[in-house]
């Protein structure tokens, strides 16, 4: 009898885990449409998707770089979320008019709010990446790579990334 109870409990836990994964999946239904269905003409691209800071000093403090992004499609692109791959990195969206939205951090480390920033066809903006080389202390020395993700309604999410070699 205990054996059957254990199997039933395992089956129940598996079904619950599967249900949570389906609920969290990016393509789940929202209202009467899928969340990730893309307008055919929406394309968000980065002029430079990767930047190398080279050698930087932990003692010198934060470094930053602006990634230029553009809607190269024929339809508006809506940026819905921005997040980073590590708590040592912050990202801010800078509109063409100078307006700033953010900073945004790492998923799982505080709330990453949903946003609704629309870039019209041909419109440009910047993503300011700010990296704190001291965030991890001595364990953060050496080569690091970080990613910033922009979720949007375009053909795919946009990732920009950077690398740095952190010295004391």
For the stretch 8-29, pLDDT in tens is 555 555 544 444 444 444 443 3
How large is the average pLDDT for residues 56-82?
Answer: 96
Range with lowest mean pLDDT among 32-41, 120-129, 130-139: 32-41
- Give the integer Cα–Cα distance in Å for 93 and 128: 6
In this structure, of 28-32, 60-64, 77-81, 158-162, the range with the lowest mean pLDDT score is: 28-32
Q: Are strands 44-46 and 142-152 parallel, antiparallel or unpaired?
A: unpaired
Please give the Cα distance from 108 to 85 (Å, whole number).
Answer: 10
Distance CA(39)–CA(153), nearest Å, equals 7
* Cα angle: 2, vertex 5, 11; to 5 degrees: 145
Q: Strand locations in the chain, DSSP E? A: 29-30, 33-34, 44-46, 50-57, 63-71, 77-84, 89-95, 100-104, 117-119, 124-131, 142-152, 158-167
3-class state of residue 20 by DSSP: helix
**Domain limits, the chain:** 1-37, 39-167
Count CB-CB contacts under 10 A for residue 8. 10
Average pLDDT, rounded, for the chain:
82
Distance CA 64, CA 67 (A): 10
The band of 108, judged by pLDDT with boundaries at 50, 70 and 90, is confident
* Conformational region of residue 70, where left means phi above 0, alpha means psi within -120 to 50, and beta covers everything else: beta
Residue 91 pLDDT more than 80?
Answer: yes
User: Which CATH number applies to 39-167: 3.30.70.2740, 3.40.50.620, 2.60.40.10, 3.30.420.40?
Assistant: 2.60.40.10
Q: Is the pLDDT of residue 128 over 80?
A: yes
pLDDT higher at 52 or 43: 52
Choose the weakest-confidence range: 62-66, 69-73, 86-90, 153-157.
Answer: 153-157
pLDDT of 135-161, one tens digit each?
Answer: 999 999 999 999 999 999 977 899 999
């Amino acid at each position: 009898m205990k054996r059957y109870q254990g199997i039933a409990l395992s089956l129940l836990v598996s079904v619950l885990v599967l249900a949570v994964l389906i609920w969290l999946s990016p393509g789940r239904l929202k209202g009467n449409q899928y969340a990730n269905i893309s307008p055919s003409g929406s394309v968000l691209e980065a002029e430079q998707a990767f930047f190398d800071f080279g050698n930087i000093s932990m003692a010198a403090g934060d470094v930053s770089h602006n990634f230029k992004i553009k809607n190269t499609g024929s339809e508006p692109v809506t940026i819905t979320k921005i997040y980073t791959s590590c708590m040592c990195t912050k990202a801010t969206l800078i509109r063409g008019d100078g307006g700033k939205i953010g900073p945004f951090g790492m998923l799982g480390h505080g709330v990453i709010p949903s946003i609704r920033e629309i870039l019209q066809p041909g419109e440009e903006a910047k993503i300011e990446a700010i990296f704190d080389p001291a965030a991890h202390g001595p364990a953060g020395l050496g080569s690091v790579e970080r990613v910033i993700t922009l979720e949007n309604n375009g053909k795919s999410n946009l990732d920009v990334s950077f690398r740095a070699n952190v010295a004391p």
